[in-house]
């Protein structure tokens, strides 16, 4: 390896001309389809860009007005409340990832039991939720949560439990002290847990299979209980595989547009809106392009913060490099 650290940029380019020629077409395409829209969006965020000035794109520069409107909840759109949406988004992410990881690891452990009959069949069945396109699952679940004809309420009725629950339209909270979470949250949660655990299960299965059996034998000889084996051998050893997966899970769930938009639609009355579905509604039906761009930047900053934070505590990306 040559040390390039003491030579200038032009010199580096001159020495590697051929390489730059090779990446030129790709770089051009990236510049047009990725970089340009991002720069354009940043510019839009500081203007009063809206449907009226699309045709003659000379919207006025408004400084930080869009950002202030968002943070002060002054956006002219029904049920817009940035802080509630942000809080809901965080709760949504934490609860989902918690269930994804615990269910995923539990199932992976169960399926990792030696001499377990029909193991492959179960494994295939459990991966199905992951294999079905998520919007199809979302629409099926939406129908299952129908008040009169949905499978969920029919099942509750068969079991003699309270039914006729308006899962998607009742804005009240079933658990009183969690008043920010309406029925629709639980509908979204059940759907997304069903969709999300297979990924964690697959990752955990791979990690479990790489743990040498000798470790468990040694632990048993030392008199460690099942729980002790799990907490002192299994968990520390799968941690390095699980952490990047959990980070991915956090980012995916934080931006889980499909489930929220298709199952509860952000309703009732905007109570299950997350940041990305809210951003979408700012454009359609809102037509507020400038505010939507500013909103996009805010979401970007939040995600950047989360990524940096998780990176620091896990150092996960370090080991991946």
Stretch of 26-34, 202-210, 225-233, 292-300 contacting other proteins, by CB under 8 A: 26-34
What is the rounded distance in angstroms from the CA atom of residue 220 to the CA atom of residue 238? Answer: 19
Decide: is 314 part of the binding site for other proteins (CB under 8 A). Answer: no
Helical pair 289-314 and 275-283, crossing angle rounded to 10 deg: 160
Pick from 169, 229, 307, 314: which binds other proteins (CB under 8 A)?
A: 169
Query: Which residues is 47 bridged to in the sheet?
Result: 61
Decide: is 5 part of the binding site for other proteins (CB under 8 A). Answer: no
From residue 102 to residue 131, the character string flagging contacts with other proteins as x (rule: CB under 8 A) and all else as - is ------------------------------
Pick from 41, 42, 79, 208: which binds other proteins (CB under 8 A)?
A: 79
Burial class (CB in 10 A: 0-12, 13-18, 19+), 118: exposed
Decide: is 41 part of the binding site for other proteins (CB under 8 A). Answer: no
What is the rounded distance in angstroms from the CA atom of residue 266 to the CA atom of residue 63? Answer: 30
Stretch of 116-124, 166-174, 198-206, 256-264 contacting other proteins, by CB under 8 A: 166-174
Pick from 28, 127, 155, 218: which binds other proteins (CB under 8 A)?
A: 28
Decide: is 178 part of the binding site for other proteins (CB under 8 A). Answer: no
If DSSP codes are grouped into helix, strand and coil, which group holds residue 61? strand
The distance of closest approach from Cβ of residue 87 to other proteins in the complex, given in angstroms and rounded to an integer, is 18
Pick from 129, 171, 174, 244: which binds other proteins (CB under 8 A)?
A: 171
Decide: is 71 part of the binding site for other proteins (CB under 8 A). Answer: no
- Non-local (6+) Cβ contacts of 20 within 8 A are 13
Residue closer to other proteins (CB basis): 54 or 94: 54
Question: Closest Cα partner for 315 from 243, 252, 261, 245?
Answer: 243
CA distances from 169 to 135, 139, 146, 269 (A): 20, 16, 10, 8
CB distance 97 to 89 below 8 Å: no
CA atoms within 13 A on the CB side of 194: 19
Question: Closest Cα partner for 108 from 237, 273, 290, 260?
Answer: 237
Residue closer to other proteins (CB basis): 29 or 235: 29
Residue closer to other proteins (CB basis): 54 or 125: 54
What is the residue-wise DSSP string for 227-246?
A: HHHIIIIIHHHHHHHHHHHH
Decide: is 76 part of the binding site for other proteins (CB under 8 A). Answer: yes
Decide: is 296 part of the binding site for other proteins (CB under 8 A). Answer: no
Decide: is 149 part of the binding site for other proteins (CB under 8 A). Answer: yes
The distance of closest approach from Cβ of residue 82 to other proteins in the complex, given in angstroms and rounded to an integer, is 17
Summarize as ranges the residues that interact with other proteins (CB under 8 A).
Answer: 22-23, 25-26, 28-29, 48, 50-52, 54-55, 76, 78-79, 146-149, 164, 169-172, 267-269, 284-285, 287
């Amino acid at each position: 390896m040559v040390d390039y650290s003491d030579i200038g940029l032009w010199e580096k380019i001159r020495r590697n001309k051929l390489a730059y020629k090779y990446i030129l077409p790709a770089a051009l395409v990236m510049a047009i389809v990725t970089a340009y829209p991002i720069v354009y969006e940043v510019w839009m965020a500081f203007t009063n860009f809206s449907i009226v000035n699309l045709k003659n794109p000379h919207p006025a520069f408004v400084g930080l007005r869009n950002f202030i409107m968002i943070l002060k909840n002054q956006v002219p759109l029904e049920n817009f409340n940035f802080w509630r949406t942000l809080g809901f988004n965080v709760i949504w992410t934490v609860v989902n990832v918690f269930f994804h990881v615990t269910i995923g690891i539990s199932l992976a452990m169960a399926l990792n039991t030696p001499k377990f009959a029909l193991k492959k069949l179960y494994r295939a069945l459990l991966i199905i939720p992951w294999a079905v396109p998520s919007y199809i699952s979302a629409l099926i679940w939406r129908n299952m949560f129908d008040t009169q004809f949905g499978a969920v309420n029919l099942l509750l009725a068969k079991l003699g439990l309270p039914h006729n629950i308006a899962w998607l339209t009742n804005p009240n909270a079933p658990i009183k002290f969690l008043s920010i979470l309406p029925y629709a949250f639980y509908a979204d949660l059940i759907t997304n847990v069903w969709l999300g655990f297979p990924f964690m299960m697959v990752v955990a299965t791979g990690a479990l299979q790489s743990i040498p059996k000798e470790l468990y034998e040694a632990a048993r000889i030392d008199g460690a209980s099942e729980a002790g084996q799990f907490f002192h051998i299994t968990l520390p050893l799968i941690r390095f595989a699980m952490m990047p997966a959990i980070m991915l899970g956090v980012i995916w769930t934080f931006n889980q547009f499909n489930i929220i938009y298709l199952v509860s639609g952000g309703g009732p009355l905007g109570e299950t809106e997350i940041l990305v579905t809210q951003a979408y509604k700012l454009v359609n039906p809102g037509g507020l392009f400038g505010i939507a761009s500013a909103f996009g930047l805010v979401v970007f900053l939040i995600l950047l913060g989360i990524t940096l934070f998780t990176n620091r505590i896990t150092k996960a990306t370090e080991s991946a490099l």
